[in-house]
Structure 1
Amino acid sequence: MAYTFSRSAELFQRAQKSIAAGVNSGIRKMEAPVPLYFSHGSGPNLWDVDGNHYLDFQLGQGALLYGHAPAEMAAAIAAQAKLGTHWAAQSELEIEVSERVQAMMPAAELVRFNNSATEVVMSAFRVARAHTGRPLILRFEGHYHGWSDEGLPGFANAVNAWGDDEAPSNRHPSKGVIPEVPEKFVVARWNDVEHLRRRVDEFRGQIAAIVFEPVLCNTCCIEPVQHLMSTIRELCNRDGMLMISDETITGFRFGAGGAQGYYGFSPDLTILGKAIGGGTPFAALAGTRAAMRTILSGEVIHAGTLNANPLCLVASKWSLDQILDQGSKHPASIQKLGKQLMEGLVELANEHGIPLRPQGPGLVFHTVMLQPDATEGPISDYRDYVRRHDAPRWAHLRRCLLEEGVRAIERGLWSISLAHTKPDIDEALRRVAVGMRRHAKLWPAPMPVPV
C-alpha cells in the first residue's frame, strides 16, 4: 500500500499562514506530493508525522553522514547545553576541532569556523580577492556555492540563457541581486580542460581564484575527468590564483582527507560544511597558511556572533572522531554499499524497461533518467545533463519510491551513511521493486492526488 500524507498536507496549509511560502528553504517546496513533515529518525531510518517509515538516502541533503540522531552525539550536545550554548568567545573545543581538521586534511594548515557553507564561500572569495588584488572568480556551470549573490552566478541557467559554448552566461537565477556581482564571475564548462585553459587565458591577470565542487554533486553526480584537478592546480600556480575546493558535500564523505585526498590534489582554500557538523549548523574555511595570510593580518574581516559556538563544536568533535575511528574502512564501507544499491537499481530498472542510469562513485550517486532517444554513456557536464536527463519522469519515479518508503533528494542524488547496512540496502531494493513496478504501470499518466 502506497503511503499517504494527510497530516503533512494539513501542516503545510497551516504553515503558509505564518511562514513565507510555507517553507524555510525554497528547495523544500519541490517535495511531491507535498512538503513532508518529520517526527523522528534513527540511523538510516526516518518517520514522518503520518507515521510513514523511510529508508533515508537524502540524509539532510548529505549532512547526516552518521545517520539520524546518533545517541552519543545527542548525549554530547545535551551535556554541553547544560554547560552553556553560546559565549561569543573562545573554548578549548574550537582548538580540538581545528586540530582534527588540520590532522585529517594536509592542505588545512589553518581553520576558521562559520555557521553555514554559504558564509564560508563568501569568506573564501573575499580572501582570494584580498590575496591577489584581482576582481574575478572563475567558476563552473552547474556547481553550487551557496545561495548568496556570489554563490549562484552561472549556476544552472535555463537553456535559453546558457550563452554560447565558449562563454557560458554568468546570469544569477534570483532577482534582487546586486547588479554588478555576476559581472565579477567568469563561467567555464566542467570537465573540458582545453576550454578551461582558454577561459583563464582570456581573463589572465584578472582572476583571483578558481572555485569548484571536486565532484559535481549539485547537478547530477559528475566526477572530474583525468588531468582536470592537476590543470586547475597548474593554472593557479602559473597565474598566482587561489585554488578553492568546495567540499561542502564531499568533505569527510570521501574519507578523512575529503575529495582532495581521494583524488590527490592540494587546494589553497577548502570549504567544509554538512558532514563536519553532523547535522548541526556548522562549517569551516580551511587553508594553507599562505592563503590565510590576510585573515592573519586583519586585512580581511572574518566574523560572526555564533561562530565556533560550543553546541556545534561538540557535535563536530564527535563527528570527526567517527571518521578517525573508521580508519582505512572509510570510505570503502559506504562505497561498497552504494555500489550494491546502484547495481540493484539498474537491474530492477532494466526489468521494468525504465531508462535509469545511476552515476557516481557509490558513496554518493545520481539517478539519471535518460530521455527517449538520448545517447548512452556517462553525463559529463551540466549541459549534457540537461540535454539527456528526463526530469519529469525521474520526478514521477521518485514519488513512487517515496510512497514505498525510499527517500532520495528530489533532484536525484543519493547518499550512503555510516549507519546504513547491507540489510538496509536489501530492504531498500525490495521496496524499490514495488515502486518501479508502479511507475512502469502508471507512466506517463500523472500521479494520483494523494489522500
Structure 2
Amino acid sequence: MSYTFPKSVELFARAQRSIAAGVNSGIRKMEAPVPLYFDHGSGSRLFDVDGNEFIDFQIGQGAILYGHAPKGMADAIAKQAHKGTHWAAQSELEIDVAERLQQMIPGAERVRFNNSATEVVLSALRLARAHTGRPLILKFEGHYHGWSDEGLVGYAPPPDKWGTEDDPTRLHPSQGVIPEVLNTFVVARWNDPEHLRQRVKEHHGQIAAIIFEPVLCNTGCMPPVPGMIETIRELCDANGIVMIADETITGFRFGAGCAQKFLGFTPDLTILGKAVGGGVPFAALVGKEKFFAKIISGQVVHAGTLNANPLCLAAAKWCLDQVIALGDTHPAGMIHLGEQLMAGLCQLAQQHEVPVLPQGFGLVFHCTMLKPDVEEGPILNYRDYVHRHDAPRWAHLRRCLLEEGVRAIERGLWFLSLAHTQADIDEALKRAAKAFARHAAEWKAPC
C-alpha cells in the first residue's frame, strides 16, 4: 500500500498558525501532497512522523554527503558541545579546517568562513568589485547563487520575460529587491562560449567577476560543453576579471578537489557550502591570496557573529577527514551506483512509456520529464530545459515515487550519498517500478 501522511498534514496545519506559510524555506512548500515532517534519519534512509521509511535521494538538498546521522559526526559535535558552542573568538579548529581545505582544493591559498553559501556569494562578489574597481557581475541563466538580492538575478525567469537571445533578462523572482542591484549584473546563456565572448566584449572594462556553477545542478544538471570553462578562464585572464566557481553543490561531491579538479580548472575564488558542513550551517570562501588582499587589509568588511563557531567547525573537520580518507576512490563509487540508478529509471520509463530523461554524472543527476513531441538528447541550457521539461507531469511522478518510499527533489534532482549501497539502489528501483506503473495508469495531461 502506498504511503499516507496524516501526521504531517496535522503538523502542517498547526505550523501555519505560527510559522509564516507554515515553512521556513519557500521551496519546501512545493512538496506534494504535503510538506513532510521527519523524525529521524540513518544512513541513506529517512523516517517521517507517520513512520514511513524513505530511501533518500534528496539528501538534505545535497548537504548530507555522508548519510544521515553518521555516528562519528554526531560524536564530534557532541564532544564540542560539552566544551562550548560559540565564543565569538578564535579556536584551533578553524585553523584545522582551513588547512584541510588548502590541502584538498587547488588554488585555496586563503580561507574565510560563513554560515551559509548565500553569505559567501555576497562576500565573493564584494571582494571582486573591490579588487577590480568595477561595478558589474556576469552570471548565467538558470544558475543559482543563493536567495539574496544579488544571488537570484536572472535565475529562472518565465518565457515571456526572458529578454532576447543576445540580452537575457536581469529579472529577479522576488518582490522587495533593491532595483539598482539588477543593473549591476550582466546575464549570459550557459554553454554558449561565443555568446559569452560577446557579452564580455559589450561590457569591456566594466565586469568585475564571472560567477558560475561548474556543473549546472540547480537547473537540469548540465555539464559544461567542451570549451565553456576554458573560455571563462581565458576571458577572465585577458580582461582582469575574477573567476568565481560556485561549488555549493559540487564541492566534495566530485572528490576532495571538488568539481574544479574533476573538470581540470582553477578558479580565483570558490564558494563552498552544503557538504563542507554535512548538514550544519557552515560555508567557506577559498581562493588565491591576492584576491583576499582587501579583506586582509580591512578595506573590505567581512564579518559575522557566528562565523567559524566551534560547533560547526567540529562537524566540518569530521566531514573533510572522511573525504580525505577516501583518497582517489572517491567519487567513483557514487558515480557507479548513480549510473545504475539512472539506467534502471530509463528502463522503467521505456517499459511504462513515460518520457523521462535522466541527465548527469550519476553522483548527481536530473530527471527531465519530456513534453510531447519534443526532441530527446542532452539539455544544454536553461531555455532548452524550460521548452522540454513537463513540470506538472514530473510532479505527479515524483509524488508517486514519494508515496512508494523513494524521495527525490521536487524539481527533479537526485543525489547519491556515501551511505547509499547497492542494496539501496536495488530496493529503490523495485519501489520505483510501482511508482512508474501507478503514474502511467493515473496520469492525464491537462486539457
The bucket for the TM-score relative to the shorter chain is over 0.9
Match of 2:220 in 1: 220
Aligned-partner Cα distance in 1 for 2:177–2:106: 36
Note if 1:150 corresponds to 2:150.
yes
Shift of 1:291: 1.1
**Residue pairs, 1:4-153, within 5 angstroms:** 4-153=4-153
Match of 1:449 in 2: none
Note if 1:295 corresponds to 2:258.
no
Equivalent residue letter for 2:247: E
Aligned-partner Cα distance in 2 for 1:107–1:409: 32
2:191–2:224 Cα contact (<8 Å) kept? yes
Equivalent residue letter for 2:38: F
Aligned-partner Cα distance in 1 for 2:39–2:110: 39
Aligned-partner Cα distance in 2 for 1:376–1:56: 28
Aligned-partner Cα distance in 2 for 1:329–1:125: 34
Distance 1:428 1:265, change over 3 A: same
Match of 2:205 in 1: 205
Shift of 1:290: 1.1
Note if 1:236 corresponds to 2:236.
yes
Aligned-partner Cα distance in 2 for 1:343–1:376: 16
Shift of 1:407: 0.2
Equivalent residue letter for 2:226: Q
Aligned-partner Cα distance in 2 for 1:319–1:296: 27
Distance 1:445 1:205, change over 3 A: closer
Aligned-partner Cα distance in 1 for 2:203–2:160: 25
Equivalent residue letter for 2:211: V
Match of 1:256 in 2: 256
Q: Deviations over 1:288-339 (max 9, x none)?
A: 0011111111110000000000110000000000000111110000000000
Aligned-partner Cα distance in 2 for 1:42–1:385: 34
Match of 1:423 in 2: 423
Aligned-partner Cα distance in 2 for 1:347–1:257: 33
Task: Tell me the TM-score normalized by structure 2.
Answer: 0.99
Shift of 1:131: 0.2
Equivalent residue letter for 2:391: A
The DSSP-based 3-state class of the residue aligned with 1:219 is coil
Aligned-partner Cα distance in 2 for 1:295–1:140: 27
Aligned-partner Cα distance in 2 for 1:183–1:158: 19
Aligned-partner Cα distance in 2 for 1:444–1:140: 35
Aligned-partner Cα distance in 2 for 1:292–1:255: 25
Aligned-partner Cα distance in 1 for 2:224–2:296: 33
Equivalent residue letter for 1:135: P
**Residue pairs, 1:383-402, within 5 angstroms:** 383-402=383-402
Q: Deviations over 1:99-146 (max 9, x none)?
A: 000000011110000000000000000000000000000000000000
The DSSP-based 3-state class of the residue aligned with 2:180 is coil
Match of 1:410 in 2: 410
Task: Tell me the TM-score normalized by structure 1.
Answer: 0.98
Match of 2:371 in 1: 371
The DSSP-based 3-state class of the residue aligned with 2:326 is helix
Q: Which moved more, 1:408-417 or 1:289-298?
A: 289-298
- For structure 2, the 5+ residue unaligned runs are none
Shift of 1:355: 0.5
Equivalent residue letter for 2:200: V
Equivalent residue letter for 2:233: R
Aligned-partner Cα distance in 2 for 1:305–1:268: 26
- For structure 1, the 5+ residue unaligned runs are 447-451
CA RMSD of aligned residues (A): 0.7
Percent of aligned pairs with the same residue? 70
Aligned-partner Cα distance in 2 for 1:263–1:81: 38
Equivalent residue letter for 1:227: G
2:393–2:445 Cα contact (<8 Å) kept? no
2:245–2:267 Cα contact (<8 Å) kept? yes
Match of 2:277 in 1: 277
The DSSP-based 3-state class of the residue aligned with 1:60 is helix
Aligned-partner Cα distance in 1 for 2:270–2:300: 17
Q: Deviations over 1:137-158 (max 9, x none)?
A: 0000000000000001100000
Aligned-partner Cα distance in 2 for 1:393–1:325: 42
Shift of 1:445: 6.9
Equivalent residue letter for 2:91: S
The DSSP-based 3-state class of the residue aligned with 1:378 is coil
